[in-house]
Amino acid sequence: MNGVLRFGVSIPPDLLDKFDKIIEAEGYDSRSEAIRDMIRGYIVKRQWISGEEDAVCTISLVYDHTKRGIAEKITDVEHHHIKEIVTTSHVHLDEENCLEVIIIKGNSEKIRDFARYLLSIKGIKHGDFIIVSTGRGIE
Ligand code: NI
């Protein structure tokens, strides 16, 4: 369906007041745009949970390359996921520390498991991952 629809929402005034303050601080021009973003986020999250839509994930890992076995283990895991991995990037942060950024695309449940497995590798100092929608199915 094209265009936009208007709908009414019943909400306690104090809740709406808190919401308006937050969205103003975040830079939204209108309440409608903030609510549209929230609805998109909710839909995307539900699609991930059900595993029905592909997603894209950025995984960042910081580790000490002088510690034996860590770099080899990361590379080994990457070689076993060449179909899902879009790209990898390696940055030498200092004498010891490295940053590995991996972008992976595919079934949301599988890529979440992949990210969690990488983060669980012994010797990873710090890491995190962000899953986002591929953009399909949301406007
Ligand atoms: Ni390095």
**Whole-prediction pTM:** 0.71
Q: What is the model's pLDDT at position 118?
A: 93
Q: Per-residue confidence at 12, pLDDT binned at 50, 70, 90?
A: very high
Distance from residue 88's CA to the centre of ligand 1 (Å) = 13
Pair of tokens at residue 7:
């709908």
- In the three-class reduction of DSSP (H, G, I as helix; E, B as strand; rest coil), residue 124 is classed as strand
- Domains by residue range for the chain, with CATH: 13-50 (1.10.1220), 54-133 (3.30.70.1150)
Distance from residue 7's CA to the centre of ligand 1 (Å) = 53
Q: Per-residue confidence at 138, pLDDT binned at 50, 70, 90?
A: low
Distance from residue 83's CA to the centre of ligand 1 (Å) = 24
| Segment 70-128, tens digit of pLDDT | 999 999 999 999 999 999 999 999 999 999 999 999 988 888 889 999 999 988 999 99
Cβ atoms of 104 and 28 closer than 8 Å: no
Q: What is the model's pLDDT at position 107?
A: 87
Distance from residue 82's CA to the centre of ligand 1 (Å) = 21
Q: What is the model's pLDDT at position 51?
A: 66
Distance from residue 133's CA to the centre of ligand 1 (Å) = 30
Residue 73 dihedral angles phi and psi, to the nearest 5°: -65, -40
**Buried b vs exposed e over 24-39: b needs ≥16 C-beta within 10 Å?**
eeeebeeeeebeeeee
Cα–Cα distance for residue pair 113/77, rounded to 1 Å: 12
**Binding-site residues:** 79, 90, 92, 98
Q: What is the model's pLDDT at position 46?
A: 75
| Segment 51-86, tens digit of pLDDT | 667 889 999 999 999 998 999 999 999 999 999 999
**Binding-site residues for Ni(2+):** 79, 90, 92, 98
Distance from residue 90's CA to the centre of ligand 1 (Å) = 6
Contacts of 15 (CB under 8 A, 6+ apart): none
